[in-house]
Amino acid sequence: MTIIQSIVLGVIEGITEFLPVSSTFHLINAANFLKIKQTDFVKLFEVFIQSGAILAVLFLYFKELKNNISLIKKICVSFAPTAIIGFLLYKVIKQVFFESQYLMIAVFIFIAFLFLIIEILVKKGFIQIKHTLNNFSYKQALLIGLFQSIAIIPGVSRSGIVILAMMFIGFRRDESAKFSFMLAIPTIFAASLFDLYKMRHIALSNIGNIGILLIGFLVSFIFAYISVRWFIKFLHKNTLVPFGIYRLVIAIILLGI
């Protein structure tokens, strides 16, 4: 992998990590487009640079989290199911989910229709989205964590499934997105550190590998910071429908290719 390729993937990761479009799906397909072979190092890179995006969230929400111990506890409750499932299915995730292009596209399309269905139900009044995180219970936190664990499949989108699940039980779009950002902190940091540990021999085998990882990390941080601020403002006045349509268009293009 070259420096230019690491920058391009860092930009894609930063922009897509917190949008409900599945950053992993975009990274894998972008790597294919750039003719980057899916080696163990590339897989490590794709996970590790997510830490840069998470650092941006930590930077934005540190004060709010520091003063809200109850919310931190609920984030930990939500994180638990993903941690357990991710640990138990680590090999399946790497050897099956990350390798099946048709599975990823099928999941990508399925979630697109979920976006459209949930928004129709909201528009028709069948779902009332009015709750804030002040009304968030531990039982709901555990439920959201179970939904987030589905995102181990590339194409689901961790932020997307969390936002959908929270909207379904009555939370506002912007509040749902905010919680998905905060929940990403332990989820992705844990995944990145676990991957780094499992593949430490690859990361340390070449000094150039470390440089590539750090460049992708930094670029991801910058673009994630911009993306998060924009997305929250977007959700104050808009729905998830554009993201559902975007998913369908991208899936059609990839199937055509």
What is the length of the chain? Answer: 257
**254 C-beta neighbours (distance < 10 Å), count:** 17
Q: What is the pLDDT of residues 70-109, one digit of tens each?
A: 999 999 999 999 888 877 876 666 665 666 778 888 889 9
* Whole-number pLDDT of residue 24: 81
Tens digits of residue pLDDT in 176-206:
999 999 999 888 888 777 777 777 666 566 6
CA 16 – CA 14 distance, rounded (Å): 6
How is residue 110 written in tokens? 């399925």
**145-159: pLDDT as tens digits:** 999 988 888 888 989
Does pLDDT of 115 surpass 80? yes
* Weakest-pLDDT range from 57-71, 114-128, 159-173: 57-71
CB-CB contact of 98 with 154 (8 Å):
yes
Summary mean pLDDT of the chain = 88
CA distances to 127, 170, 225, 253 from 167, in Å:
8, 5, 24, 29
Residue 61: both structure tokens together: 């929400």
pLDDT classification of 161: cutoffs 50, 70, 90: very high
Instruction: Give the number of C-alpha atoms closer than 13 A to the C-alpha of residue 108, restricted to the C-beta side.
Output: 29
Helices 101-124 and 23-33 pack at an angle, to 10 degrees, of 140
Please list, in sequence order, all residues whose beta carbon lies within 8 angstroms of the beta carbon of residue 173, skipping any fewer than 6 positions away: 129, 163, 167, 235, 239, 240
Return the pLDDT at 187: 82
Q: What is the mean pLDDT of residues 117-125?
A: 95
pLDDT computed for residue 91 by the predictor: 67
C-alpha gyration radius of the chain: 17
- State residue 242's pLDDT score: 96
How many angstroms from the chain centroid is the CA of residue 186? Answer: 12
**Region at 122 (left for phi over 0; alpha for psi -120 to 50; beta for the rest):** alpha
Average pLDDT over residues 35-39: 81
Model pLDDT, residue 257? 77
Q: How far apart are CA 10 and CA 125, in angstroms?
A: 40
Question: Tokens 């129709």 identify what position?
Answer: 120
pLDDT of residue 162: 95
